[in-house]
């Protein structure tokens, strides 16, 4: 009986170690996998969109600094609430991060989106997802949704909804 319980304990410990190793995969290993999942630990899928300034911008991959990518719509009440904080973050960290607002234009009206940008005096880059492909690819179904993507192109945070400015400060300092 002692031999069987000893083997059970050994098997249990080894299974625990295997699970622990699996759960503690390095984010670089996760990021290197071919499956894109729009969540922390995975490589950000690269995309290119036209901005309000008519230029094309490529997001994802190695960018050299933290990218702040915020998906929003003009009709979204929480986006309205968050807008002043986004502008403040851009003014505070504009040299430290690349900040992008992605208007989910397929689910919005472009005229309303442009007015939203003017009303809130945004000075960071606003990208227009007119076809909705990027919004769909990143599985954004609530607004606002923000991704913090590190300089190597790995998603570090996915934030659904609004968080306090102090929490944004903490996260930006943590990853930049």
- Mean pLDDT, all residues of the chain: 85
- Nearest CA among 81, 176, 63 for reference residue 125: 63
User: What pLDDT score does 25 carry?
Assistant: 39
Q: Look up the pTM and report it.
A: 0.79
At 66-113, the pLDDT tens digits run 999 999 999 999 999 999 999 999 999 999 999 999 999 999 999 999
pLDDT at 36 over 80: no
At 13-31, the pLDDT tens digits run 444 433 333 333 333 433 4
Give the mean model confidence (pLDDT) for residues 4-16: 47
Q: At CB < 8 A and 24+ separation, what contacts does 140-143 make?
A: 140/38, 140/71, 140/104, 143/71, 143/72, 143/73, 143/76, 143/78, 143/79, 143/104
pLDDT at 64 over 80: yes
pLDDT at 5 over 60: no
């Amino acid at each position: 009986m002692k031999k069987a319980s000893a083997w059970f304990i050994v098997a249990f410990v080894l299974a625990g170690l295997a699970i622990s190793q699996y759960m503690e995969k390095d984010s670089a290993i996760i990021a290197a996998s071919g499956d894109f999942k729009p969540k922390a630990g995975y490589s950000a899928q690269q995309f290119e969109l036209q901005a309000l300034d008519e230029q094309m911008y490529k997001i994802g991959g190695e960018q050299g600094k933290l990218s702040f990518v915020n998906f929003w719509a003009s009709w979204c009440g929480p986006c309205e609430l968050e807008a002043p904080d986004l502008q403040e973050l851009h003014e505070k960290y504009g040299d430290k991060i690349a900040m992008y607002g992605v208007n989910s234009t397929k689910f919005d009206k472009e005229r309303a989106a442009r007015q939203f940008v003017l009303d809130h005096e945004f000075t960071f880059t606003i990208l227009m997802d007119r076809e909705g492909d990027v919004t769909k690819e990143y599985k954004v179904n609530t607004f606002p949704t923000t991704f913090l993507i590190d300089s190597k192109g790995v998603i570090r945070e996915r934030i659904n909804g609004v968080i306090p400015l102090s929490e944004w400060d903490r996260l930006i300092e943590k990853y930049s």
